[in-house]
Structure 1
């Protein structure tokens, strides 16, 4: 989302969370989830930055100075290379038309006030018109929707599926639905602005008071602009996107957005039908049927129309920004409608409260949630020297019933780059994290563009801060640009180490999407090995298996120490694997030249392992 995201959950999320009791998944449902054939890999691209060849990187630079990527930069060759990396889905981030500081009045688009826009290019999470796309991304802005539709076709032709963002919790302060389909009214068009709350109002209001620009941020870094005058015409003022009810939001509030009303009263009570007991065990079809005769708030209908509009255009799914700030009853309503149109739709939600995970999966009918607060944070703590890897096993155990739904990542537009000094420090130190993140569970894996060539986010882009590739500014992404090689997409300008890193990602991701064991069972072998001589405290090991494949995964999170030890696989695993006494070959599936021998004696397994700093093995038992 945007800065101060986690503060916002505390401000606004508390009024939305419900303590609904959940049940364990039925065995049949669990088996259905496990029956998926292969792991999914999502490749997130920040669409505005992906194809930008300009290397000027002036802080607060304009398009003319710093350049911008286009839909057309995703050529057949580019998409083929992404697919070949080991990717199933591409997430085009920043596609819907959002507020920005650029004059497109010649195309019937009003100018946005820089005082309620973050950066010059603007936040992709302050959407201005949900029925069209960002004009920056088109070669011909008048033809921008057709250019995106052409990209949808190219993406499918390349054998990839695609998702885009929907941001139901908030919209741009100056939303203008100039491309609404027939019969769709604009947000707020029928609102009663004399009251703070009414169920079918699209917004919350602060009656009889004008909105005031927050103190702190200096629009456009002090550059002159005719719209910068200390005022923004909003009367009455609306609640801000993160739930702030102040006429003058704080600098750290999401002041460029306004909060959407889903029928949650200001006191947090719900003004809409609630799902009956037992609906956590119901199918999306049963959820869809439930809502057919229900009277629901107007905002629900508006966002369902938006989702179905893009679904009809061939978009294969959505990533929902700050989904936990919207009640899960709404998600049941919208997601079930999407699934009725496309049963295979990929629905990914940004949720950070572990106590709510099961509600948003089972009641909200989400396919996947971010595994940020547990697995991601744990891996970051390990590589930053703040934690032992042992706790990874407890995380897996605690989420055993929903592990398939918890998408793993180490890099995205919100987080510090994996290779940045603030995270792993180097791309190489990130390798064992990536192996564990990819192979630990049956969940999808996500990679952020540039991660696979070691992008560290070092640029001072303007409004954005270093260590994160800016989502607010026009900027180039240096490591990615070297791989892009002026549009050849052949890695021609990469250094040898960057080429080796991309090869590592390619090997790992392609193995993961083909491995039956990674869609099978998990068991930690950390506890039985922790007392071994030579088994360093920064080693982590576990096994994954299916009927067709048995894997032993070992990762060395130390960037300095080589460890040599006798790895033990306990008797209960050997029994589950039905291995007889004897000698077996362990062949590393990342680099096939790495192998060792595995001995089973008296129903226990042992293997002599030597693992270098930041090295990982995915041994297959042969």
Structure 2
């Protein structure tokens, strides 16, 4: 069980190296790496990391580091070509791992030196006072998985499997005996222009293996994770999810070796993909085992079943879990000005499925899976995120995360290849991120090309995150809800959200307005807090973000606060 009062707060910057340093601007749909370009480990320079650090971040989540299946040909470097019929996008999905002991050759300037280039990035990141997070994808691997970089003594996935059996806990994969795998009909890998002798609508896999999203059929659909194979942790899905943990399945030991390999390379933490598709018993076994040798490692779980949050934290050993089905969903509705949305839904988050574990929840408004705030599919305007980001960053002591490009209002306009026009920045294709590239400014990382509004937006994120980083009340303080105390006050509105974060030495009253109209409220602080803080008479409140001052002659009767539309205040008093 984790401490309920950490002495720090994780502030995470997620970036895909493939996208982050790419300066090419052609952005051809289904374009090749030569046409559209690709960022490299070496593009993430000391200057880039210095600027990330200046914004207040403590950790960088490098997404898509480990080698995954791709349509790009690296046979000249001794890397086997992947069959495009089981690859999504020209670049390939970062979550279809091809070799757990290697990094993506796309990301290296010198492909033969790719591991060293990643190690140099880890060293650079640490030198700049930041810690490194990478993905761990435990549930599935690419259909073309074959590790050519693993230590000789390590057995590869499936190498010792008995493929005549659909299930045994000794196997690494699940099989469909006697049947061939079938590529989904209608899949056109790489678009019409991409030509390959392997692009023939066929991929030889016999017997067929189960697909990553729990499809136990030789013929997954085009909407399934058909490019991946489900890994076997000793759960027999076709027999009522029976578990066979009489002794530790071989796969568990293989995963322990893999995570140790990356931890010894200097990785500080793992964002673990789709953790609920893997038995909690595995996590309860591997996380404590790894922390014996690497006690500072952190584990962040991508989770969506709020009824299982407590289980994965207190039994599974996770440090943090996604709060997607909870705070993200509530804030998204408010940000989009949903007619029926209410800030009381935020209360419901921390008072129900996050009760007692709020400090373990990671909050965000964007990541690689979610739509961009500035896209027409979300808010359509990056500035509408201000109240939601203030709440995400200050509601609790758990981590807050920003996705690269969010801070300059990237809208992810248009189709990009396998990734259609859906408001997301592609993770499958070679691409440049236009608004982010303005900040990159041909690897100068100085933001000269940004508009004045973009510079101000980035300034807001920097001010918010650094305030959270440096303010004890916001970083580690207690939480006190002020909605109930103010629901009958003049000007109260259910598009306002109000709470206090405090320690013995600092107090910050957080007031945000999700409404598209300006509000004025006579804000009241309950008597028990006035007594606790020994407050009476004249009191001043200073907004930590804008330095605006609000005063009252009689704190007991309240203070009149005017708050602009879609904005927020961090009132120090």
What band does the TM-score fall into relative to the shorter chain? over 0.9
Question: 2:94 aligned with 1:113, yes or no?
Answer: no
* Structure 1 position 74 matched with structure 2 position 29: no
1:220 CA drift (Å): 1.3
Aligned position for 1:387? 341
Q: CA deviation at 1:531?
A: 2.8
**Equivalent runs, 1:9-88 vs 2, <5 Å:** 32-34=3-5, 36-88=6-58
Instruction: Quote the offset at 1:217 in angstroms.
Output: 2.9
**Superposed displacement of residue 598, structure 1:** 4.2
How many residue pairs align between the two structures? 565
Unmatched segments (≥5 aa) in structure 2: none
Does 2:397 correspond to 1:442? yes
Structure 1 residues 196, 605: closer, same or farther in 2, change over 3 A? Answer: farther
Q: Deviations over 1:214-240 (max 9, x none)?
A: 124321113332111121010000000
Aligned partners of 1:39 and 1:514 also within 8 Å: no
Name the residue aligned to 1:373. 325
2:321 match: secondary structure: strand
Rounded Cα–Cα distance in structure 1 between residues aligned with 2:72 and 2:92: 10
Corresponding position of 1:478:
434
Structure 2: distance between partners of 1:194 and 1:212 = 18
| Stretch of structure 1 that moved more, 471-480 or 390-399 | 390-399
Q: Does 1:525 align with 2:482?
A: yes
Once the 2 structures are TM-superposed, how far is the Cα of residue 92 of structure 1 from its aligned partner?
Answer: 0.2
Q: Deviations over 1:282-341 (max 9, x none)?
A: xxxxxxxxxxxxx30011011111000000010001010001100111112211122112
Q: Deviations over 1:462-489 (max 9, x none)?
A: 1112310000000110111000111100
Structure 1 counterpart SS, 2:242? coil
| Preserved CA contact (<8 Å) 1:162 1:316 | yes
Correspondence for 1:194: 164
- Which position in structure 2 is the counterpart of 1:557? 514
Cα separation, partners in 2 of 1:194 and 1:498, compared to 1, 3 Å: same
> Equivalent of 2:549, from 580, 585, 595?
595
Structure 2 CA distance for aligned equivalents of residues 214 and 605 of structure 1: 67
Whether the 8 Å contact between 1:38 and 1:514 is mirrored in structure 2 is: no
Asked if 1 retains the 8 angstrom alpha-carbon contact of 2:33 and 2:72, the reply is no
Distance 2:535 2:501 in 1: 18
Instruction: Tell me the distance in 1 between the aligned counterparts of 2:485 and 2:536.
Output: 20
Q: How far apart are the structure 2 equivalents of 1:521 and 1:610?
A: 25
CA distance in 1, matches of 2:72, 2:349: 46
Whole-Å Cα distance in 2 between the matches of residues 366 and 180 of structure 1? 27
Measure the CA separation in 1 of the matches of 2:292 and 2:113: 31
CA distance in 2 between counterparts of 1:140 and 1:374 reads 43
**TM-score (normalised: structure 2):** 0.97
Aligned pair 1:208/2:178, yes or no?
yes
Contact 1:579 1:600 in 2 (8 A): no
8 A Cα contact 1:38 1:516, kept in partner = no
In structure 2, the CA distance between the partners of 1:44 and 1:526, relative to structure 1 (3 Å rule), is: same
The answer on whether the counterparts of 2:91 and 2:428 sit within 8 Å (CA) in structure 1 is: yes
Q: Secondary structure at the match of 1:388?
A: coil
CA distance in 1 between counterparts of 2:387 and 2:137 reads: 33
Contact persistence 1:206–1:247 (CA under 8 A): yes
How much does 1:439 deviate? Answer: 0.6
Q: Say yes or no: does 1:241 pair with 2:222.
A: no
Q: Within 1, Cα distance between the matches of 2:382 and 2:369?
A: 18
Question: Per-residue CA shift, 1:94-121, capped at 9, x if unaligned?
Answer: 0000000011001111111111100110
Correspondence list, 1:136-535, <5 A: 136-223=106-193, 224-266=195-237, 267=239, 268-273=241-246, 295-384=247-336, 385=338, 386-398=340-352, 399-466=354-421, 467-518=423-474, 519-535=476-492
2:565 aligned with 1:608, yes or no? no
Shift of 1:565: 2.0
The alignment's TM-score, normalised by the length of structure 1, stands at: 0.89
- Do residues 584 (structure 1) and 539 (structure 2) align? yes
Indicate conservation of the 8 Å contact 2:530/2:536, yes or no: no
Match of 1:540 among 497, 507, 518: 497
Q: Distance in 1 between matches of 2:293 and 2:93?
A: 30
Q: Is the 8 A contact 1:417 1:468 kept in 2?
A: yes
* Partner-residue secondary structure (3-state), 1:574: helix
